Each structure stands twice: as C-alpha cells, then as structure tokens.
Amino acid sequence: MKRGKTVVVIGAQWGDEGKGKIVDVLSENFSVVARYAGGHNAGHTVIIKGKKFVLQLVPCGVLRKGCRAVIGNGVVLDPLAFLKEVNMLREAGVQVDRNLFVSNRAHVILPYHRMIEMGAENAPGRVKIGTTSRGIGPAYEDKMGRRGLRVADLLDSRLLKTTIENACREKNMIAHALFNSEPLDSDSMYQEYAQAAKEIAPFVADTALLINKAIAAGEPVMFEGAQGTMLDIDHGTYPFVTSSSATSGGAVTGTGVAPNAITSVIGVTKAYCTRVGGGPFPTESHDAVADQLRARGNEYGAVTGRPRRCGWIDLPLLRYAQMINGVNWWVVTKLDVLDELDEIPVAVGYKVNGKKTAGLPALATGYEQVECTYEKMPGWKKSTAGITTFDKLPQKAQEYLRFIEKESGARIGMVSTGPDREQTIFLPEFEAELSSLNNGGKTARAK
C-alpha cells in the first residue's frame, strides 16, 4: 500500500493568520490532524454555520467527523485547560472520546510554571516579551533542563507527588527571592493534578506510533502549527518569540515522524499583517487606517482579547517564511478586510542604512534600522465577502493576489473571504493537489 501523504500548515507571519479556519476547512481531506508545538497560548477560532469554537489545545480536526485529533509530544499541556476544553466540546456535541489523543511524551504545565512566568514578566527592569503568562516558557525551560514532568509521568501517582514536592520547594524559593511571590502548596496541587490525571488517562497514547501507522497504512495526515514563523524560537524576532518551533521543522520533532514523511507545506498569511505583544513590526501602521483594519478584521486575541498591532503585508518577510518552511502553497486570509481601502501599500523590499538587503536582521534591534520600500496597489472598493470563486473577485483584488504570488516564492492555493467554512476560494491547481493527497477522494470545497 502507498504511504499516506502529509501536509504541514504553518503561520507565515506573527501568528493569528487564521490557521484555525484553514485547518478546519482542509481537515475533511485528512484522517489525522496533529498539533505539534505550543500550548494553550495559541487560540484557533473556527466558525461553522455561525457557531463559534475557540480551540486552544485541541487540534481543529476534532470538529470533523471521522478525523482523529492528536496533541503531539512537542506541545506543552496544561491538564486543567485541556479538560476544560474537552468538556466544552462535549457540551457542544463534538465527539472527543476515542477520537482525541494526547502524546504520553508531551510535557505538562503546572501552577509553578505560571507563577515563575508572571513574576518574571512583571519584574522591574525586565524587557516585556508580551507573553500570555500561562506558564508556556517555563514549562519548555524545565523540558530542556531535563527536570520536566511528562504526561506519562503525570499518570504515575508516586512520581507525580515526588516531582511536585521537589519542584514546589525549588520554585517557591526562587519566586520568593526574585519576585516576592506567595508560595504554592504542594499537597493541594498534588491532589488536584492526581485527579486530573485520572480524567486525562483515557486520551493518552503513543501518538508517534499512531501517526506513523496511519501514514504507513496510506492515510493522509495534516500537521497543525501554532503561532507563526516570526515567533519561532530559532528563526523569529528573538527574544520577542514563543518558546517552541513554530516552523515546519517542528512538525517532525513535535510528533515523531521522519523528515522524508512530509509531502507538502502550506503557509497561511493575512492579506495584511498583524502582531500581538512587543517586538519588531516593520510594516506597522499607526494611523487611522490601522484602526480601520483592526475594527474590520476584529483584530483581538482569541485567547487574551488583546488588540493586535496592524500593518501591511510584508513580502520580504513572506519570502523568508517561504525559504525557512519550504512553503509550496499560500493561503491568503481576510481579503475582505481590505475591501474599503482606496489603495493598499505592499512592502516589497527592505533597506538598511540606505542599502537594499535580501535578509532579515538577526537582532531584534536590527529592525530599528530597517526601512521598508512600498509599492501602492489600487484598492477594489467592492465587497469580496463570501465570494467562493476566484474569477468572481474584483479585477483589482485578483491583481493584488497575483502580485503577492509573483513576489513571494509560492503559489496561492486558497483565499479566505470570511470567517465561516463556506467563505473560501479554492484555486483549481490546489484543489487538484488536495485530491491527489487524498488518493483522488473528495476535497474540502464547501458544498
């Protein structure tokens, strides 16, 4: 039997590109959807026939009947946040039992991780990264420091008790000395998380084995990224980044599949650009148009509610994302947000000290010297909301998209013209490739 084909879906900017909707729309073509990085600091909003789902840990594939959803080993799991999300899905009538799997090798977030992060983020003199203070970074620190607790360990009550006692002793001393934080009680923490472990146990599996078996059996698999390329711990605007590998390479280490198992990479980009929190943003706009983009695009964090910084699409950044991730196809989201603009600036190049540069600065401070070169595209001044055929888009909207395609190094396969599943354009070449990934079966074109 032929090996199943696989696709990685990544964010090409600073996250919030609309990956949740895209993964949901595409998931009809896949037997397994696996999340490979991040924690419950990621928020994926999916709207199905007007009903809104905000998923933070559970992969969007869970919303498709017959699609198995996997939380891979590269994710850091907050047990209480996970159970809260599972209960929300159950109440909404979503099938999660025997359909959702958690890696036994994923690391666990505990209350002391949140305590340390909140203290560090609010410490005097600290450069604020703009974290969600949900313990993600400190959990990854413990993972790399080889003192973390994994899901498999969570299920071992004796090991759980010892780990919590030792960690609380150490973390309470650190937090009190550095941040004057109140100590956490290890006994009550153990009781709460021992109970959570019992509820999580039915979901736990060797997910690397599950995914590799599915691929070997010829089943198509999709890997779902969190955050975006420019928040990647290695390749993003460090230190204003997340703590995990948000790029396509993270799909390999974060789920346990081989590099040669990846068939294709899909990059998701907005038709403009946004960023949450601190850090460089070369195309950021500070005028009334930014407020207009924020209002029309509902640019507020799905998890935090924080207003997003808004600006223009950045082609040097997209070219970098294409190179780092090996993007084969772009999905352009929120095209309809630009409908009312007279003209749309597009950053086509960078200059540093007056000289053109092809690369991106390694230092976050290096972006202070970056000057963007813009090309202004004419607006189309017509509604694109809900259009599902490329040829029915206004001519100037088509030209805008083709310009992005020409300058960014990959083809456009999909365009999102609204938040619902049905408000999606599939281009024929992309639809044909989807069909081939699914061995000639149905594709995700909305009916």
Cβ(15)–Cβ(237) below 8 Å: no
Report in angstroms the alpha-carbon separations of 92 from 37, 78, 426: 26, 21, 29
How many Å apart are CA 111 and CA 186, to the nearest integer? 10
Q: What are phi and psi of 408, to 5 degrees?
A: -110, -10
Active site (annotated) includes residue 97: no
Of 16, 232, 336, 420, which one is the catalytic site residue? 16
How many Å apart are CA 382 and CA 339, to the nearest integer? 6
Smallest CA-to-CA distance from 436 within 1, 65, 4, 32 is with 4
Of 40, 44, 113, 235, which one is the catalytic site residue? 44
The H or E element spanning position 351 is strand 343-352
Contacts of residue 159, defined as CB under 8 A and 6 or more positions apart, other chains included, come to 153
Active site (annotated) includes residue 235: no
Q: At what angle do helices 157-179 and 186-200 cross, to 10 degrees?
A: 130
Q: What are phi and psi of 279, to 5 degrees?
A: 110, 170
Smallest CA-to-CA distance from 10 within 343, 271, 318, 237 is with 318
Long-range contacts of 294-298 (CB under 8 A, 24+ apart): 296/337, 296/340, 297/270, 297/272, 297/334, 297/337
In 7-110, alpha helices (H): 19-26, 79-91
Residue type, 61: G
108 alpha-carbon distance from chain centroid: 19
Q: State the catalytic residues.
A: 16, 44
